[in-house]
Amino acid sequence: MAKSAKKSKNTWQVTELKPTDVFLSDPKNTDIVIAVMGPTGAGKSTFINTLFGEAVAEVGHDLQSQTAQVQHYILNPKSEHRTIIVDTPGFDDTIEEDREILRRIAVWLARSYDAGMNLAGVIYLHEITQTRMLGTARKNLDMFNKLCGVNKSDNIVLASTKWIDVKQEIGNRREEQLKKEHWKEMMNHGAKAVRFDGTQKSAQDIIKLLFQQEAVDPAEIQRELVDIDKFLAETAAGRTLRYTLDQLLEEQKKLATQLHQEDGGQDLKQQIHENEEKIRSTLRQIGSLSISFSQRLKRWFRLRCAKQKIFTNNFALPAAPKGLLSATVMAKTKYIPQNTWQKTEVKSSILHEPMDTDIVIPIVGMTGAGKSTARAF
Ligand SMILES: Nc1nc2c(ncn2[C@@H]2O[C@H](COP(=O)(O)OP(=O)(O)O)[C@@H](O)[C@H]2O)c(=O)[nH]1
Ligand SMILES: [Mg+2]
């Protein structure tokens, strides 16, 4: 993809970059990047140490995430084509919120893309000792899917770890399940499933798999951040938060029913309380996404608006995903006339005489957030 040599700062560089973000001091456009992702405890740092043959990354020995920052390690510093291995934090509700983890990974990838570095691929690690794909394991896989996009997955290696800790037949069964269910879509699009057996040769073989692939199309999030200059918060990955919320609400419903039927004990009440906290935290994060989204809308409009007539309208949005779609539909009205969405999505006409000199300021938010109050100003 063509990139201009010199350009002004992108929006993400202004809004998302933090002084604490670590990056290579001397990025080169000959560098090859391989990112290692997966839940905390999956064995990412151990994999990297095994690959390097020495302890370069800190290995976690408790439940807390050891790698809350994105860290990079240069495998062959003297080579013309350096291989940069990137250790990423997992999405695991311990130290940082999902949005912050996402920001750190996205910003690192965006900076590497901006510097002309080449992403060779991503290794996603999954502990074969996990009995089921639930909780953080599920969330990490969803985030990963959204980050990379599932359309083209040639540059993804899905590696299972900790084989030494499971009986062979149980491991085989779980691996089959992963291939048949959770990894199926990515594998259909070219991702490879392998086992990391804990040896350096196995780690090197996994890296080699990525070098056999052709040059990589930038991961979805890089494209969105740098090329389309979208706000990070409104990327496909950010939308996963809404999916998390659905899951939490479903869980809460089940717990409440249980409590009602069993005249619940202290444990159940505690679980409900903890779940409630998670719901609140997810809602807060979704709240920050909505702000970014409306900022983006405003930016789009600013591009084409002269300072003429101001028209303020109020979109009452029911649920987030559908609501956002409706707002987008409205925003596109001028540009894409007579498309299918007009038949399926436009439910009522608001302006009878729209003019291209009109300025539209959508007010977006949940019911009760104060949209009508804002309109009064
Ligand atoms: N038995 C076993 N333990 C492992 C393996 N890989 C990692 N671990 C342990 O799992 C824990 C988490 O590993 P770490 O590499 O820090 O995971 P990360 O959070 O993904 O970076 C540590 O206690 C490691 O010693 C493995 O292949 N087998
Ligand atoms: Mg680690």
Tell me the pLDDT band of 265, cut-offs 50, 70 and 90: confident
Tell me the pLDDT band of 150, cut-offs 50, 70 and 90: low
State the closest ligand 1 atom to the C-alpha of 198, by its place in the atom list counted from 1: 27
* Cβ of 170 less than 6 Å from ligand 1: no
Instruction: Give the dihedral of Cα atoms 40, 191, 186, 325; nearest 10 deg.
Output: 90
The DSSP-derived string for 59-115 is PP-SSS-S--S-EEEES-TTSSSPEEEEE-----SSSS-HHHHHHHHHHHHHHHHHT
The DSSP-derived string for 167-198 is -HHHHHHHHHHIIIIITHHHHHTT-EEEE--S
Higher pLDDT, 16 or 81: 81
- The pLDDT of residue 111 is 86
Q: Ligand 2 center to residue 187 CA distance, Å?
A: 25
Q: Does 49 score more than 50 pLDDT? A: yes
Higher pLDDT, 188 or 322: 188
Which residues are in the CB-under-5-Å shell of ion ligand 2? 44-45, 66-67
Higher pLDDT, 255 or 174: 174
Q: Ligand 2 center to residue 186 CA distance, Å?
A: 24
Give the architecture-level CATH label for domain 11-230: 3-Layer(aba) Sandwich (3.40)
* Cβ of 195 less than 6 Å from ligand 1: no
Per-residue model confidence as pLDDT tens digits over 281-301: 888 777 666 544 444 444 433
Any idea where the domains of the chain sit in the sequence? 11-230, 235-297, 305-377
- Mean pLDDT, to the nearest integer, of 97-114? 81
* Cβ of 161 less than 6 Å from ligand 1: yes
- The pLDDT of residue 64 is 56
* Cβ of 171 less than 6 Å from ligand 1: no
Higher pLDDT, 275 or 310: 275
* Cβ of 238 less than 6 Å from ligand 1: no
Tell me the pLDDT band of 176, cut-offs 50, 70 and 90: very high
Ligand 1 pocket, mutate which of 37, 52, 59, 195 (most atoms under 8 A from CB): 59
* Cβ of 60 less than 6 Å from ligand 1: yes
Q: Taking the model in full, what pTM does it have?
A: 0.65
Q: Ligand 1 center to residue 117 CA distance, Å?
A: 29
Evaluated on CA atoms 286, 292, 296, 302, the torsion sign reads positive
Cα–Cα distance between 37 and 30 in angstroms, integer?
23
> Which of 117, 122, 119, 88 shows the shortest CA–CA distance to 105?
88
Which range of 14-28, 134-148, 188-202, 210-224 scores highest in mean pLDDT? It is 188-202
Evaluated on CA atoms 174, 177, 179, 182, the torsion sign reads negative
Q: Does 345 score more than 50 pLDDT? A: no
In the chain, alpha helices (H): 11-15, 44-52, 98-114, 135-148, 168-177, 184-188, 200-211, 220-222, 236-262, 266-304, 320-332, 340-345, 371-375
Cα–Cα distance between 181 and 263 in angstroms, integer?
37
- The pLDDT of residue 257 is 84
The number of the ligand nearest the C-alpha atom of 57 reads: 2
3-state secondary structure of 4: coil
Q: Does 44 score more than 60 pLDDT? A: yes
Locus of tokens 């509700």? 93
- Mean pLDDT, to the nearest integer, of 58-77? 79
What value does the mean pLDDT of the chain take?
72
Tell me the pLDDT band of 11, cut-offs 50, 70 and 90: low
